[in-house]
Amino acid sequence: MRLKHFIYIILLLTIGSCKKEPSDTLSNKKIFDLYNGTYFIESAVSESPVDINQDGVSSNNTLSEIEELKFSHVNLVIRSSTMALGMGWPEQNSIPTDHETESPVYTYNYQSRSYTIDFNNDLDEINIIRPNESQHLAPYDIKIDGDLLTLKITRIIYVGLEKKEIVVTASFRKDPDLIETYF
């Protein structure tokens, strides 16, 4: 699992970086010391209750509705010349069935996306500079306080045969055991 994170971080560093002015290097070092690392999901709450897992009970607890969500994480990669947020999140897929006689079946594929970021002056909010997908699917309202990162993400999901758009507020906690060196 750690090898996967290492490979993911290397991949993030090789994907499009944003050159900073030399004066930004010191502030990147400060941000690195505060926030660089891997954050694992602790909670995911949707704005309205949904029954994604089709157990007959609608819930706002998206983490209990989508079991695969427990593997979600965020990587903050802070370097002298780039800052990036990488996010791993399961995406819902439909398995073809005869919907007239069978309930629909859904699977999840774990997807990773990366975004070039910057921080506000107080270093408690993260802004995505150039999303590599529509802004609609990129995380937003990203806040960070110590080792806790929270964000909102909009996803299109199927509940039975109905297609819905849900907004999820997810919280991620930094893993203190994954230590890196600034470069």
Note whether residue 183 is domain-resident. Answer: no
Number of domains in the chain: 1
| Burial call 136-149: b when 16+ CB within 10 Å, e when fewer | eebbbebebeeeeb
pLDDT for the residue 16 = 47
What is the mean pLDDT of the segment spanning 105-122? 87
State yes or no: pLDDT of 2 exceeds 70.
no
Both tokens assigned to 162: 């109905």
Other C-beta atoms lying within 10 Å of the C-beta of residue 164: 14
pLDDT digits (tens, 9 = 90+) for 62-105: 999 999 999 999 999 999 888 999 999 888 877 766 656 566 77
Q: Is residue 179 part of a domain?
A: no
More confidently predicted of 131 and 139: 139
Residue 182 lies in a domain: no
The answer to whether position 85 is within a domain reads: yes
181 within a domain of the structure (yes/no): no
Domain containing 118 equals 2-174
DSSP strand pairing (73-78 vs 148-159): unpaired
- So what's the pLDDT on residue 45? 97
Beta strand residue intervals within 26-160, DSSP E:
37-50, 59-61, 73-78, 83-95, 105-119, 125-130, 140-145, 148-159
Residue 104 located in a structural domain:
yes
User: Is a pLDDT exceeding 50 seen at residue 147?
Assistant: yes
Can you tell me the mean pLDDT for 11-21? 47
| pLDDT per position as a tens digit, 27-73 | 888 899 999 999 999 999 999 999 988 888 999 999 999 999 999 99
User: Is position 132 within any domain?
Assistant: yes
